[in-house]
Amino acid sequence: MSETPLSYRTTLSVPRAKSVLGLGILSRIPAGVVPFSVLMAFTEHYGIGIAGLASGALMLAIALPGPARARGASRRCPAALPLMGVACLVLFTAAAAVIGYAPWQTAIAVTAAAGCLFPPLTPTLRSVWSRLMPDKDHLQRIHTVDSTVEELTFVATPLLVSAGMTLSDTRLTLIVGAMLLLPAALGLSAVVRSVPADQAKEDAAQTTVRRQRSILRTRNGRGIIVPVLALGLFAGGLEVIISAASSHFGGLSSSGYAFAAFSVGGVVGGLAYGRKTWVATLRIRYVIVTAELVVGALLLAAAAQSPLIVLVAFCAGLPMTPIFVVAYLLVDERIEASRQTEANAWLGSGFNVGSASGAAMGGQLLALTGPRLVAVAIAAVASGAAAVALRISTTQEVSELNQRLSRTPALLGQITRWPGRKKPVRRRDPPSGCCTT
């Protein structure tokens, strides 16, 4: 870590940082345009009920196979990303062709098939930052900037789709959004080729005996992913709480102010976190920011039927970006280099699945009881996630593991000399009087 605090301008002055950041914006535009275009296209041609099914099927198709796609891309990158982009574009074009002309079941099936091949651009980009920024202060700040830009991108993409709908058909907007996957995938592949990997980390990863285990089955993997899953549940539950609260004060249309306040809180919290030089370890920081979700949920429970819901939504959003930033830093520090892309994909998939589950289960619970109990349930889940984060291995345990891994080749050499192995044939001394050369 640097001894003096670094500014965002200093971090962005690192060679190639601005170009890779721009590539990240390009890769996230289709990630925001495509799902919203699917929702609008199905609503226009089949109705809102079928559109909800199509949107849920697409998001699950993108989220659930995400870690497997990232694992395959990290092993075969950079060729895998453009191939996935081409296949995804072909399938989304086919989906746009059948929407409105075929039964809705067929249109949903083709759309979900396209989502299954959605290239893991964001997880790969997160791994590139770890290679490009060896200094941990720089890495913390670039993750903060990248997460803030990502949040702003997803605010802007619905506006782009709305503008496209006024100029053309929603199905054409879907195709244009999918076409942006190709330049993003090609550019990211070029970056992966040119940015060298940390060979020491790669060698250590190859000697890890448990490298084939699922990341969720490892202690550090669970500790990193579960808080992000809880954040997704928090965001999904917040949607139904805000909708219920807004219906009592100002009408349902006023809920947009609270949603915007939640996003603004994430941006402000991320920028404030990134500027500070921290003394606490990443593990302790992760526990603290996850515990802040508990405070936010309890504030929601207190203000669930109050006009202060906008202010509370802002406060609840403050830990959102810091949770992602610390999670990405923990992936860089605690996950072997060969699996960091997969781990980053687990973070994105965990948040998306948690968000969808939180909205679905929160809506059912709200209909049975009320918004206060939904917020209390979210607080309980966040408390459990903070306890799981506390079980992440400490810095001392990581250093001891690295020392054991550094001795692994010598230990393997000793293990291979097992008892009963055939002894090498010893050379006999020549008989006396014979000549030797």
All structural domains of the chain: 19-196 (1.20.1250.20), 198-409 (1.20.1250.20)
Report the sign of the C-alpha dihedral through residues 146, 35, 235, 393, in that order.
Answer: negative
Q: What is the mean pLDDT of the chain?
A: 78
Q: Return the pLDDT at 404.
A: 54
pLDDT for 291 equals 94
Task: Give the integer Cα–Cα distance in Å for 393 and 284.
Answer: 11
pLDDT band at residue 90 under the 50/70/90 scheme: very high
State the alpha helices, DSSP H only, in 319-369. Answer: 320-334, 340-368
Rg over alpha carbons for the chain, rounded to the nearest Å, is: 25
pTM for the structure as a whole: 0.72
Residue 28 to residues 71, 121, 335, 402, Cα–Cα distance (Å): 20, 8, 24, 35
Per-residue confidence (pLDDT) for residue 254, from 0 to 100: 59
Q: In the chain, what percentage of residues exceed pLDDT 70?
A: 80
Give the amino acid at 54.
A
Burial zone of 2 (CB within 10 Å; 0-12 exposed, 13-18 middle, 19+ buried)? exposed
Distance, in Å, from the CA atom of 299 to the CA atom of 294, rounded to the nearest integer, reads: 9
Other beta carbons within 10 angstroms of residue 98's beta carbon come to 17
pLDDT score, position 112: 92
- Residue 101 has φ and ψ, to the nearest 5°, of -120, -10
In the predicted structure, residue 130 carries a pLDDT above the cut 60: yes
Can you give the pLDDT at residue 110?
94
What is the pLDDT confidence band of residue 252, given thresholds at 50, 70 and 90?
low
Ranges 56-70, 84-98, 205-219: which has the least confidence: 205-219
**What integer pLDDT is reported at residue 185 of this predicted model?**
87
**pLDDT above 60 (res 200):** no
Measured in residues, the chain has a length of 437
Does residue 203 register a pLDDT over 50?
Answer: no
pLDDT at residue 418 tops 60: no
Question: What are the pLDDT digits (tens) for 333-357?
Answer: 888 877 887 888 888 888 888 887 8
At 125, the pLDDT band (50, 70, 90 cuts) reads confident
CB atoms within 10 A of CB 135: 14
Top pLDDT among 93 and 141 is at 93
Give 202-209 contacts, CB < 8 A, sequence gap 24+.
202/337, 202/338, 204/336, 204/337, 204/402, 204/405, 204/406, 205/336, 205/337, 205/338, 205/339, 206/338, 207/405, 207/408, 207/409, 208/336, 208/405
Q: Is the dihedral of CA 72, 76, 77, 79 positive or negative?
A: negative
Look at residue 134 and tell me whether its pLDDT is greater than 80.
no
Name the nearest CA neighbour of 17 among 254, 175, 191: 191
